[in-house]
Amino acid sequence: MIVSNMTAPGAGYPSLAARFARPIRQEGRLVMSRLRVVVCAIGLVLLALLARTGLPILAGAGHTGGRVVPVALPLPAGLHQPRCLGVGHSLALPFGAVAPAAGAVYEGSVVSAALHGRARAYEIYLPPGYSDPANAALRYPVVYLLHGAPGGPTDWLCAGAAARTADRAIQAKRLPPLILVMPDGNGGRGRDTQYVDKFNGRDNEMDYLAVDMVHYIDAHYRTLADADHRALVGFSAGGYGAMNVGLHYPNEFHAIGSLSGYYVALRSEVYGANDPFGHGRAFRLANSPYDYAASVVGVRHLRLLIADTTDNLPYTRYAVQFDARLTQLGIPHIFQLYQSSHLGHGHDWRFWAAHLQSVLGIIEGRRPR
């Protein structure tokens, strides 16, 4: 305070405050510069930690079970994990064994023009490494798995352990990394459609599955979007649906597999009060692979698989008859008839789950074991 008047204002000398302000400002700039360096270093450390934990660190990236989805093709909004994931995806391991890398399973929905704008649910399995940024350029073959009647899209996960089967087979290199899609073929339990375009034209189930669903999956996931890398597989009513839809759309699916299916349109197989076939004979013949297979353009270039057990009546008989029909027509196919003494009567998950891996091999043209 006593020095404030040592130099009169305007006398050409800087004030005491001004003399001290200059080095203070210089020191402040130095401190701020050092602080920015520290903050940047902390930020780099945090980014490295986030990258190791798999948390999203890129704008627009989607978080999927601890992995970062490439910004170029984020997962669709509204996905969630199916309720039974713990049942189908758990893996009991012997002591000391290493668990296989696990894929991710989600549930979503697709709005279908063929169903007049209604939404249908689907489950999807994405293979291990799908969401790793290092694999952002990779694309994958797709197998569509159809459920039976009554049934729903989670059946292959909950009862068939499809995710666990795929994890093990991919780790053992018995299958390539692939995507599994499990669509809802009924729009709800008790509403059996048999995967056919309804006789009265009200619902076009084939277009929903082979056009709307396929195009949606190809647009939202990194698929190999061509028929050579797309298969359609099902069990029971889903086996019938796979063969019927696949033969109607040979340019969409080059591999078709039927487990315990049937090959003519049978009203006796329709579950519940729904009637997708009607009473017209021509409509039923047009949806009976046994009757129209010979007329399918390019059918001899498809990979067809029929599989069943020896005691699964009447489905064993259906399989034997369809095998004989295809053989008579000179249509190449694989026919597998398994002894069912250790698999019960065969029309159950003990058979379908046990042979899922070998059936998935048709995506590469492999012969089931």
How far apart are the C-alpha atoms of 284 and 297, rounded to whole Å? 20
The residue written with tokens 């799908």 in the block is 130
- Rounded Cα distance, 21 and 26, in Å: 9
Comparing C-alpha atoms, which of 238, 235, 214, 244 is closest to residue 226?
214
3-state DSSP percent of the chain in helix, strand and coil, to 5: 40, 15, 45
The residue with tokens 């669903």 is: 213
Indicate left, alpha or beta for 145 from its phi (over 0: left) and psi (-120 to 50: alpha).
Answer: beta
223 token code pair: 């698929």
Contacts of 293 (CB under 8 A, 6+ apart): 247, 299, 325, 326, 329, 331
Q: What is the CA radius of gyration of the chain?
A: 30
Supply the pLDDT for residue 49: 47
Please tell me the pTM assigned to this model.
0.75
Single out the residue of 287, 190, 309, 205 nearest to residue 240, CA to CA. Answer: 287
How many Cα neighbours within 13 Å face the side chain of 26?
A: 6
pLDDT 10s per residue in the chain (369 long)?
333 333 333 333 333 333 333 443 444 444 455 555 454 555 554 544 444 433 333 333 333 333 333 335 677 776 666 666 544 444 444 444 455 678 999 999 999 999 989 999 999 999 999 999 999 999 999 999 999 888 888 999 998 999 999 999 999 999 999 999 999 988 655 578 889 887 566 778 999 999 999 999 999 999 999 999 999 999 999 999 999 999 999 999 999 999 999 999 988 888 776 777 777 889 899 999 999 999 999 999 999 999 998 888 899 999 999 999 999 999 999 999 888 755 555 788 888 888 888 889 887 765 444
Quick one: CA dihedral 39, 42, 48, 52, positive or negative?
A: negative
Number of C-beta neighbours around residue 296 at 10 A:
16
According to the model, what pLDDT value does residue 58 have? 32
Q: Which three-class secondary structure state does DSSP give residue 39?
A: helix
